[in-house]
Amino acid sequence: MKTKSFTIASFFICLFTLTSMTTVQDTQIFEGVYDGNEDYGYNFIGMDQDGEEFTMTFQNIDEVLLKSFNLNTDKLVGSKFTVSYTSKTEKSEDEDGYEDDVEVYTITALKKL
């Protein structure tokens, strides 16, 4: 009986440990004007709470969205969008071998306003 209890307890400890290590990617929403794309991503201009402009750059976009909204051309520059996106932290290493955490933003949905 002790072996069975120990096995069940071990199972739940392992399950808890594995699920706590999973990164949750909550979808966030941003509203801004499309400003074009560069080699490093797709740029949108937004306004903060103080009325100041800022640039939000998204490094990735869902391929299905590019068929509906071709952000690789200048046709949509100046258009206002609601952007749904996820963010993920990745490690990058520079030429000196130093690691840095980099936020990578991926567009998951677009709605033209």
pLDDT at 5: 57
pLDDT at 100: 83
pLDDT at 61: 93
pLDDT tens for 4-41 read 555 555 555 555 554 444 445 688 999 999 999 999 99
* Domain 25-112 in CATH 2.120.10.30: no
pLDDT at 22: 43
pLDDT at 71: 93
76 secondary structure, DSSP code: T
Count of C-beta atoms within a 10 Å radius of residue 81: 20
76 pLDDT higher than 80: yes
Contact 83, 110 (CB under 8 A): yes
Q: What is the rounded distance in angstroms from the CA atom of residue 62 to the CA atom of residue 10?
A: 40
**Span 78-87, average pLDDT:** 96
Show Cβ contacts of residue 56 under 8 Å, excluding neighbours closer than 6 positions: 30, 32, 43, 44, 45, 46, 83, 105
